[in-house]
């Protein structure tokens, strides 16, 4: 019997159940290989995700955020019955690719350019530094 080391089981780390779930989702998403993608650092507070989506039109693609999970999905219509391929090497299948976003990371915009879908993420700079918590008496 193998034992799995469970992260975040320290009594000093409270409320990390959702973080465990996010790590499990990220590990599952990392196992997917289609479509290929890049993650690029654009500065101290900006990141770009680029997916190779040749053949997909903007209406074939959907970008959604649920909680801290960014999901990019593509669905293509079937091939016309009039088309007869001698070789078919370009994938025509749909996909769902998910990314778990860190706290404070927001989608700044998306654009489709030369067969690449670019999704820009930004972390606002006006993050509160240290906050003092008032103590009430009574």
Cα–Cα dist 81/130, whole Å: 63
**pLDDT cut 90: percent of the chain above it:** 41
Considering the domain boundaries, does residue 135 fall inside one? no
- 15/26 Cα distance (integer angstroms): 19
The answer as to whether 12 is a domain residue is: no
Kindly give, in sequence order, each residue whose CB lies less than 8 Å from that of residue 58, ignoring residues fewer than 6 positions away.
112
Predicted pLDDT at 6: 57
Q: Which residue has the higher pLDDT, 95 or 104?
A: 95
User: Is residue 9 in some structural domain?
Assistant: no
Q: Which of 25-29, 44-48, 83-87, 100-104 has the highest mean pLDDT?
A: 44-48
pLDDT at 24 over 90: no
Residue 110: pLDDT band with limits 50, 70, 90:
very high
25-64 pLDDT, tens digit each: 666 666 677 899 999 999 889 999 999 998 899 999 999 9
- Domain for residue 14, yes or no? no
Instruction: Please report whether residue 46 resides in a domain.
Output: yes
Reply yes or no on whether the pLDDT at 74 is more than 70. Answer: yes
**Average model confidence (pLDDT) across the chain:** 82
Domain that holds residue 97: 34-79+89-122
Give the H or E element holding residue 46: strand 46-52
Number of structural domains (the chain) is: 1
The CATH number of the domain holding residue 102 is: 2.60.40.790
Please report whether residue 27 resides in a domain: no
119's CB contacts (< 8 A; 6+ apart) are 48, 49, 50, 51, 63, 70, 72, 107, 109, 110
The arithmetic mean of pLDDT across residues 67-78, rounded, is 87
Can you tell me the distance from the alpha carbon of 23 to that of 29, in angstroms, rounded to the nearest whole number? 10
CA end-to-end span of the chain, whole Å?
52
Whether 50 is covered by a domain: the verdict is: yes
- 11 occurs within a structural domain: no
Strands of the 95-100 sheet, one edge to the other: 61-66, 69-74, 95-100
């Amino acid at each position: 019997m193998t034992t799995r080391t469970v992260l975040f089981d320290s009594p000093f780390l409270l409320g990390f159940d959702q973080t465990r779930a996010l790590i499990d989702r990220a590990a599952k998403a990392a196992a997917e290989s289609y479509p290929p993608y890049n993650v690029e650092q654009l500065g101290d507070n900006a990141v770009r995700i680029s997916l190779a989506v040749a053949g997909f039109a903007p209406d074939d693609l959907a970008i959604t955020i649920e909680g801290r999970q960014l999901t990019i999905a593509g669905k293509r219509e079937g091939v016309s019955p009039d088309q007869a391929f001698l070789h078919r090497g370009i994938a025509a299948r749909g996909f769902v690719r998910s990314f778990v976003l860190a706290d404070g990371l927001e989608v700044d915009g998306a654009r489709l350019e030369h067969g690449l879908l670019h999704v820009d993420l930004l972390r606002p700079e006006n993050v509160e530094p240290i906050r003092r918590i008032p103590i009430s008496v009574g």
